[in-house]
């Protein structure tokens, strides 16, 4: 599972210096234990492992998958991405922005050619990229190592990667590859060409919400995704409209598993984070919780899709716990939808509707053919402004 292929290059011809983050070599079929923080070098100067896994790592014999220290450390190509979107008057957060290449050079990171900026966060930038060998598209998430150290989130990054590797579901974003450069850690995920649910509601225009049949379609796919994660003891912990993105066909896909955690069977977590207006009461109180917190968030999301607003938006934890009942109004909603949401937004988690099969059998989903939905045979809900332009 380890490698001593120091000083070698990838398809782009780039060789990167090793770092104190340690390296990991993984593939899709099986992956070994690893050390992320305790980097060591062999007597030859080659790294002991490689932070690399993916389908290309084992199905392409000519591919070099390890990074050793070059004679003259090159400029980290990831810095070019940041620089390209940091010039005066530019916006790194503009989704779909074409990349301004430095001179005439094409920016490559690992075996990926960077094409456009999709968005940015506190410690990461997401770009559209193409695999050099076959032009396969991917979403390249570039994370700054210094920001990772300062934020003490190395374990979270590795946890996200491991969860992505474990998951294989049409409604959960897939991962293609993970690797590091001298200054950055990179994840390459499946590229989704659609918008997120919040943007979709806005793009649809007034009254900025979905009909119940349309909301039912998206909710059903999200329920399948959550049920799949929970079957693997993975709690998602960050369900909200911006984390549900449509693929090119209009199907809902959960993205950004950075807050997800794999629990031991029957286990609970006491890590408290997430967007307050979507967090379950037990989390807001600082109590331990399991996968049931995701179904609370599911209830808030379903309410928002139909009502066009999050009833708890802008409230702090104490206000949410005190004002929930008066904030929930069901004007214009069908009795079956009101019943479903009220069971999902149950303050007492022992009374909350937290069972996938029971949710599927709820009258609100009476017209949904769940088996066909699982097989991808239910046509996606029609919508405007579905696909992002390149």
Residue-by-residue DSSP string for 202-227: HHH-TT-S--HHHHHHHHHHHHHHHH
Domains 55-189 and 197-374 equal at CATH topology level: no
pLDDT score at 156: 87
Say how far residue 238 (Cα) sits from the centre of its chain. Answer: 10
Residue 283: left (phi > 0), alpha (psi -120 to 50), or beta? alpha
Average pLDDT, the chain: 76
Higher pLDDT, 91 or 363: 363
Rounded to the nearest 10 degrees, how much is the dihedral formed by the CA atoms of 281, 284, 288, 289?
Answer: 50
If pLDDT is split at 50, 70 and 90, which confidence band does 383 have?
low
Residue 297: CB partners within 8 Å, gap ≥ 6? 236, 238, 239, 240, 274, 278, 279, 280
CATH of domain 197-374: 1.10.510.10
pLDDT one-digit tens code per residue, 265-302: 989 998 888 888 999 999 999 999 999 999 999 999 99
* For range 192-217, the mean pLDDT: 91
Q: Is 250 left (phi over 0), alpha (psi -120 to 50) or beta?
A: left
pLDDT value at position 347? 93
Instruction: Point out the least confidently predicted range of 151-155, 224-228, 268-272, 353-357.
Output: 151-155
Pick 55-189's CATH classification: 3.30.56.10, 3.30.200.20, 3.20.20.110, 2.102.10.10: 3.30.200.20
Q: Please say if 238 is a catalytic residue.
A: yes
Q: Which of 76, 79, 238, 247 is catalytic?
A: 238
Measured CA to CA, the distance from residue 193 to residue 245 in angstroms comes to 8
pTM recorded for the entire structure = 0.76
Contacting residues for 314 by C-beta, under 8 A, at least 6 apart: 277
Between these two residues, 388 and 224, which has the higher pLDDT value?
A: 224
Average the pLDDT over 161-173 and give the result.
96
Confidence bin at 105 (pLDDT 50/70/90): low
CB atoms within 10 A of CB 103: 5
Domain ranges of the chain: 55-189, 197-374
38-93: pLDDT as tens digits: 222 222 333 323 344 443 333 333 333 233 333 333 445 555 544 444 333 333 33
For residue 382, what pLDDT is reported? Answer: 54
DSSP class of residue 384 equals S
Q: Is the pLDDT of residue 36 over 80?
A: no
Q: What is the pLDDT of residue 172?
A: 98
292-307 helix and 335-344 helix, angle to the nearest 10 degrees: 150
**Could you tell me which residues come within 8 angstroms of residue 70 by beta carbon, excluding any fewer than 6 positions away?**
7, 15, 16, 17
pLDDT in tens, 309-338: 998 998 888 888 888 888 888 989 999 999
């Amino acid at each position: 599972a380890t490698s001593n292929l120091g000083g070698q290059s990838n398809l782009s011809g780039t060789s990167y210096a090793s770092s104190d983050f340690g390296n990991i070599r993984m593939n899709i079929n099986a992956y070994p234990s690893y050390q992320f923080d305790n980097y060591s070098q062999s007597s030859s100067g080659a790294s002991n492992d490689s932070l690399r896994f993916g389908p290309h790592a084992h199905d392409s014999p000519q591919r070099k998958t390890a990074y050793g220290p070059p004679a003259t450390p090159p400029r980290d190509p990831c810095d070019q991405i940041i620089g390209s979107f940091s010039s005066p008057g530019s916006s790194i957060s503009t989704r779909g922005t074409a990349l301004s290449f430095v001179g005439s050079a094409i920016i490559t990171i690992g075996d990926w050619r960077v094409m456009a900026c999709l968005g940015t966060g506190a410690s990461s930038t997401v770009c559209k990229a193409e695999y050099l060998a076959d032009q396969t598209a991917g979403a390249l998430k570039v994370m700054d190592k210094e920001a990772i150290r300062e934020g003490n989130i190395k374990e979270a990054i590795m946890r996200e990667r491991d969860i992505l590797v474990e998951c294989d579901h049409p409604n959960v974003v897939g991962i293609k590859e993970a690797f590091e450069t001298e200054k950055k850690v990179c994840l390459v995920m499946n590229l989704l060409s659609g918008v997120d649910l919040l943007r979709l509601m806005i793009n649809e225009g007034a009254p900025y919400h979905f009909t119940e049949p349309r909301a039912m379609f998206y909710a059903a796919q999200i329920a399948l995704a959550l049920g799949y994660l929970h079957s693997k003891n993975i709690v998602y912990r960050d369900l909200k409209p911006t984390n549900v993105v449509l693929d090119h066909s209009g199907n809902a896909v959960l993205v950004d598993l950075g807050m997800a955690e794999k629990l031991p069977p029957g286990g609970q977590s006491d890590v408290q984070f997430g967007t307050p207006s979507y967090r379950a009461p037990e989390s807001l109180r600082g109590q331990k919780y399991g996968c049931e917190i995701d179904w609370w968030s599911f209830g808030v999301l379903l309410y928002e899709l139909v009502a066009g607003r999050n009833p708890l938006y802008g409230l702090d934890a104490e206000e949410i716990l005190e004002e929930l009942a008066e904030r929930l109004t069901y004007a214009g909603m069908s009795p079956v939808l009101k019943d479903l949401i009220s069971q999902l937004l149950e303050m007492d988690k022992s009374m909350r509707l937290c069972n996938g099969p029971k949710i599927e059998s709820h009258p609100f989903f009476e017209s949904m053919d769940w088996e066909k939905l699982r097989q991808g045979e239910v046509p996606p809900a029609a919508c405007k402004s579905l696909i992002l332009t390149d």
